Amino acid sequence: MNHNNQSAGEAASSPIAHAGRTNTGFQIQPAERMSGLPAQFFAGLVRKANEQISLGYDVINLGQGNPDRPTPPHIVKSLQESAENPLYHKYPPFSGYSFLKEAIAARYREDYGVHLDPETEVAILFGGKTGLVEISQCLLNPGDVCLVPDPGYPDYWSGVALAGAEMAFMPLREDHAFLPDYGSLSEEDVRRAKLMFINYPNNPTAAAAPASFYDDTIEFAAKNGIVVASDFAYGAIGFDGKRPVSFLQRPGAKEVGVEFYTLSKTYNMAGWRVGFALGNPEVIRIINLMQDHMYVSLFGGIQAAAAAALTGPQDCVHELCSMYESRRNALFGALDQIGWEAAPSQASFFAWLPVPKKYSSAEFSDLLLREAKVVVAPGIGFGKHGEGYVRLGLLTPEDRLVEAVQRIGALHLFE
């Protein structure tokens, strides 16, 4: 997504946009790594939605993953109070305050029974995304291979591209519970791989992983010398009484990898940019070394508020999870009414739905926006094996979710 203040039209007409040439004829030559970055597929989706909104249409946007509820008041109050502390007006320790690392270690111990050394097994991140991009730069050389889920979170690709490495995709198929099948990967890809990403609860498929999957992953990684990066961004959001399993809960996990956790989803703190890498001490050391050269950690007031979130009452987390489950039930109940058949989401705040066979995922998404004024994310934006699906977010009130489905039902696409 383009977060610049310029519109797309303004950017296209700027001097530097024309082959890097300024009005003086001076040429700006970007580094080669910039041309290797993956295209931002969803920027086009946002542009199309905004066009409809600018024309005065009531658009229901289910295509993005931005939490719609505010941060709980006690966390906001902690930031307000902490912002007045002169200590936090200075540079914080490069690797962050110990009290925050101790807070995340305490939360993992309480929630998952995982024991972490706060100083050697916890790295503070500027949001989970930063760590997911950094780890490729920390561990991969040009020509190395990273195993990446397909469909999967596109920013995995960004980190691999910046490292000059290559990707080998692990298909996530419905007939395999949207879990990678390690036995189907090519021997050459496995031999060259140094890093792999896994992500459960999964974005975009909304699948959860059993403990046995993590055991298989640890065995596979140890056998082949591959570091595991477990993206646990939706770890707090499980349905039907089932708590998502953490990779770090399984024996041997710390020996082969790390887990990335974020406060964005658990506490509705997406804009606060607080995340953590947890696990293998050597990987944590390398991530901290990278960050020593790039940042001076998070503003101390935000670190204090993050610690308050982790150590304070967790009622807000349980209530949030219940709200998403209620929204899921409302959505899938409405889908059933119009004949759109799909397996209910197991976890996360997404739904992964099959596209009618005569459409591609992009064509179907365009049709829903044009005719129903409903935004969904086409599966192809998450990888080749995302084709045939669209992703919906449970990030609007139940009545709007039901209205969106009713609008789609009026198109009679599932009769």
Measured in whole angstroms, the distance separating CA 317 from the mean position of its chain's CA atoms is 18
Containing 328, the helix (H) or strand (E) segment is helix 315-338
Helices (H), 187-314: 187-192, 211-224, 253-256, 263-266, 281-292, 300-311
374: nearest Cα among 149, 146, 58: 58
pLDDT level of residue 1 (50, 70, 90 thresholds): very low
For the record, the structure tokens of 314 come out as 């967790």
- Write down the pLDDT at residue 38: 84
pLDDT level of residue 35 (50, 70, 90 thresholds): confident
pLDDT at 2 over 80: no
The DSSP-derived string for 226-249 is -EEEEE-TTTT-B-TT-PPPPGGG
Domain boundaries, the chain: 8-69+316-409, 89-311
Fold of 8-69+316-409: Aspartate Aminotransferase, domain 1 (3.90.1150)
Q: What is the DSSP letter of 352?
A: E
Query: Which residues pair with residue 167 across a beta bridge?
Result: 146
Q: Tell me the average pLDDT of the chain.
A: 93
Query: Which residues pair with residue 231 across a beta bridge?
Result: 199, 260
Q: Is 89-311 a domain of CATH 3.40.50.620?
A: no
What is the mean predicted confidence (pLDDT) over 304-311?
Answer: 98
Note if the bond before 67 is cis, omega within 30 degrees: no
Write the pLDDT tens digit of every residue in 242-274: 999 999 999 999 999 999 999 999 999 999 999
181: nearest Cα among 232, 231, 217, 151: 217
What is the mean predicted confidence (pLDDT) over 320-333?
Answer: 98
What is the mean predicted confidence (pLDDT) over 97-112?
Answer: 98
% of the chain exceeding 90 in pLDDT: 87
CA–CA distances in Å: residue 211 to residues 34, 185, 227, 244, 411: 39, 21, 18, 9, 41
For the chain, first and last CA: distance in Å? 35
What is this structure's pTM?
0.91
